[in-house]
Structure 1
Amino acid sequence: MSLETVVEDIRDEARARAEEIREEAEAEADRIVAEAEEDAEEILAERERAVERQIEQEREQTLSSAKLEAKQQRLEARRDVLEDVHDRVEQAVADIDGDEREELTRALLDAAAEEFDGDDSVAVYGAPQDEALLTEILADYDGFTLDGERDCLGGVVVESETSRVRVNNTFDSILEGVWEDELKAISSRLFDQ
């Protein structure tokens, strides 16, 4: 065997070994690239899921906020309607006149007078527009005198220093009592709850 043959055999063997190393390196590189692509796909899928979760969470928050705002607007609108109804009722009560006003005023004064049996001097206050009416009515009550005005829709405020009692039988106080007692029914009727 000649030296050239040995050198050629070594070269062939080195080439074969180099080819084998190159193939192994390519296979390793392909494996690494495949793993990297797999990892990248997993990372991408996880990020997509995270973005979807965030979008869903933000959608729920926005929806919840919109529902709350709508509820607040609905409540505000109902409150405005109830205020309007109250104002109309108040105006209707203020507009009561004639025999009906006299009858109501007498009934309220009679109810208040029960609290002052035996008192010598009882002061009565009423709405400025009822001065003549109250003067006429009080002529029927011993010891009761018109003592001044009250800012009210009508009716009477009656008090006595002797018993230190004050009875507020104004149209306003009656209206407020009825309004509070019937508010739920009024609201149900207006808004079909």
Structure 2
Amino acid sequence: MSLDTVVEDIREEAHARAEDIRAEGEARAEEIESAAEEDAEEIVDDAAQDVEREIEQLREQRLSSAKLEAKQKRLEARRDVLGDVHDQVEDELASLEGDSRKELTQTLLDAASDEFDADDDVSVYGRASDEELLEEILESYDGYSFAGEYDCLGGVVVESEQSRVRVNNTFDSVLEDVWEDNLRTISNQLFEQ
């Protein structure tokens, strides 16, 4: 074997080896590129899912917020209507006249009288415009006298120093008791759904 043949064999072997290394490199590069593309697709899919989740969360948050705001506005409107109804009832109580006012005032005074002893000196307070009415009613009560004005829609505030008792039987206090006790019923009747 000549030196040229050996050189040629080494050269061919080197070329073959280089070709194998290049083919392996290309195959490895294709594997890396393919894995990178799969990773990139996975990252894009994950990012798209994250974006969809965030969009859905934002949608739910906005929907929830809108529902809450609508509920608050409904409650506010209901509160306004209930306030208007309450004001109308107050106006009607304040404008009661004649026998209706006298009967209601008499009933409230009778109820308050149960709290006092027969020999007590009892002071009765009422609305300034009801003074005449109260004095007329008090003529049939021994030891009772009109003691002055009380800022109210009507009715009486009755007290006695001997008993140390004060009874507030004004239209206002009765209205508030009835209102509180029946607010749910009133609301349900006004806002039947």
Q: Same fold (TM over 0.5)?
A: yes
Aligned to 1:65: 65
Kindly report which structure 2 residues correspond to 1:114-125, keeping only aligned pairs within 5 A, or say none: 114-125=114-125
After TM superposition, the structure 1 = structure 2 runs for residues 7-156 of structure 1, keeping only pairs within 5 Å, are 7-156=7-156
Superposed structure 1 runs of 4+ greater than 4 Å apart: none
Aligned to 2:167: 167
Q: Aligned-pair RMSD on alpha carbons?
A: 1.7
**Residues 152, 171 of structure 1: 8 Å contact kept:** yes
Residue 37 of structure 1 deviates from its aligned partner by 1.0
Partner of 2:189: 189
SS in 1 for 2:114: helix
| Counterpart Cα distance in 2 of 1:111 and 1:23 | 110
Q: Is the 8 A contact 1:119 1:160 kept in 2?
A: no
Q: Which runs of 5+ in 1 are unaligned?
A: none
- The AA in structure 2 aligned to 1:36 is A
Identity of aligned residues (%): 68
TM-score (norm 1): 0.91
Contact 2:124 2:144 survives alignment (8 Å)? yes
> 1:159 offset after TM fit, Å?
0.9
Distance verdict in 2 for CA 1:4–1:114, change over 3 Å: closer
- Asked if structure 2 preserves the Cα contact closer than 8 Å seen for 1:105 and 1:155, the reply is yes
Note the C-alpha offset of 1:44.
1.8
Could you state the TM-score of these two structures normalised by the residue count of structure 2?
A: 0.91
Deviations 1:139-175 (A, max 9, x none): 2222111110100001111111111111111111111
- Measured after TM superposition, the shift of residue 39 of structure 1 is 1.5
- What is the CA distance between 1:30 and its match in structure 2? 0.9
- Give 1:24 shift: 1.6
Q: Is the 8 A contact 2:120 2:163 kept in 1?
A: no
The Cα of 1:120 is off from its aligned counterpart by 3.9
